[in-house]
Chain A
């Protein structure tokens, strides 16, 4: 009997033919967050990030071996064809075949699990999780879950969750005006436990170079601020539901830079600051002039993400997030003394 049940579960995983009954929406959501840690799969992912002026798209083959080995093999855009990103635990290898180099970066994510738990709590505090009618996605039954902002009532995220594995197969995120800003979709998914380790091996013969060094992220924000080495300024205004979730201090070009993250569980804003007169170099972007309070400022848009930079004496600030420019300017004005 046990063998028969296991066989039917395996059959369901492989074919997706049977729809599992839906658990409470919040439980499903929590389970979906951790699905990558227990489900191995291969598939093709399409990601779209839509901005007010420009949008970005990428298509890649994905091989994921639970809990923490992933390879993305890029098919598009054309310039990236053949490049890949291999993530093994907290180390990421960006393999650039045209330049014959591997850029290695390490994420100090020791308290990643704590951060995820904290963010889930914030998300539950700010969003109502509700079911929409079940659907079929590429032949697989999926539960459709909406996350509606408690303050605005707007749907901020729509998830299509595989009813058998609880892996998110499609995700749409919406901006504050309701228009889609991000879409992710996995096609041709096949669940398998037999992805060989060689898939995640780093190719030989490529030059290895270090990527950007990042600070050790911590959810103990007060401690992070105390290690900045200067009197940090924090915003007096944040959009409803946002709170401080994490931070780090990194030395960038020898400049101690404090990075504070604010989130409402789905949307995030980063505030960077230094007091070494180190301005943000926007020369590689199309920067547009604006103001933060009465201070001259510039902003750039990368898809739906906006970076707003300004200075107050020797202190330089940058706000980064998927919020509107107006919201970022309001947050920025509240940072100033």
Chain B
């Protein structure tokens, strides 16, 4: 019964979305306030209905209702509660429902918080937002309905893939979707602005918080996925340049560019046309990510034939929204007035460079991901793997990272590089020290690695230099410095944090890629092996049982310089349902890096294959991403940007740019 209620709510949500798409847009066209006013309750109602639908499905999962086909296919009664809940979005149908739920949540948030938006803009934004919801509700109902019953119901379900039964993965998809879908707001605002033919700095001020929130979630979502693959897959890699990873990385790159170009538009009323285009492209890339993952075009090697109707449907949605958006852009962009002027060497100029490099990087990832697919359609099979991206993407990041600390130090309109360079003296000095130390200490690894570490240090120190300069540390008494620091807007701290996080991430990536240590060997109980200053003694293998799996656990005593450090217990699990094996690495975490032990197969001659890795500074990667996320949050809490305070922003927008 509850499941039918959910099904019904989904159909109702579709109808509400259709109304929300048509009526307010018509109202905006004929300037009828009553028609436009419908957008707000419709958006809230649509969200409420989708929430009911989603909770109904979740209820079926939690109570293990095996009369629902979707639950049978993806859940099992012995699964722990957390994974019964995360199982809702652990499959295609459920995850699409989550997708539209988040979409409608953003729409409802605009309706609830955007009270100060001009009537027509708000009506158009919510109408465009609803049109996306219509497309995806139809998609779910016609091709991927999670509310279908199965008769007769089986005694138990098939279970969730065991490697997905993991806390980080339980929250990874919702984060990722919030990121993807959050960019829909930027898209809706862009389309609404094009429809109205009106675009000013206030527009950027409304769009930026939403973009920032989406970007934060996408950052954390990608980082979670990377962290998960690091500890779960058993070879300690953190990024594989896999098409599916790239699918989430492209919107991130474009979204990062959008965040920065919207800044220029907000402060200086410049780069308008470009920002609009970028908003359309960012959401289009999110849709393409959905298409690539859902359509089955990426899975051609394995015969997991995905329903081709789904692929065609999503392709149609993608074509409609991307093509429609770009067509509207082509028609109306010329009407948009160009805004503030600036010299090439200026804050705006640095942000233009940021955008050029990020867009190029995004295009590189795009072409690297799609090229094999296109050639395959022509009957040619080629592979584009990590070596390609290392040769193309990485060199693009170098100038970006080099220029990054300069950006916030340049003045708006016109500035000079020399002044900024002086303020970065300390950061450059620190980078030089890191470079020299690195060359002195490490005699192995790629020769470019020390430069990479120095670059990361430069970015980190450069980010801090900006605040130090703003507070005039050293030039004025400490109390004055403190006062100045306190009077800085929160967004300045947000910028510093986010940029610092980027530097930290770079250091982590370079260090762990270049200086990773590895031992692969056969160990018998009693054997000892040393790696990176640790000594590991293998005591043997013991059996163990978990709630829904059996395991073989390897026992290792770790010592360093004779002193005990920890015990590591890497294991191999066999899950009950579905009966699949997984490896659980034994990881010892320290600031220096991770000691990572994987238990392999029993060998014919006795003993076990054992893999040991030392991944130096690998935590910096996710710590960096987390700091970027926090930086975004700090920036979002700035009152100038606060979601709920666009009225204030509106008045400020009339004041001259700083």
- Asked if A and B bind, the verdict is no
Q: Which residues of A contact B (CB under 8 A)?
A: none
Q: Which residues of B contact A (CB under 8 A)?
A: none
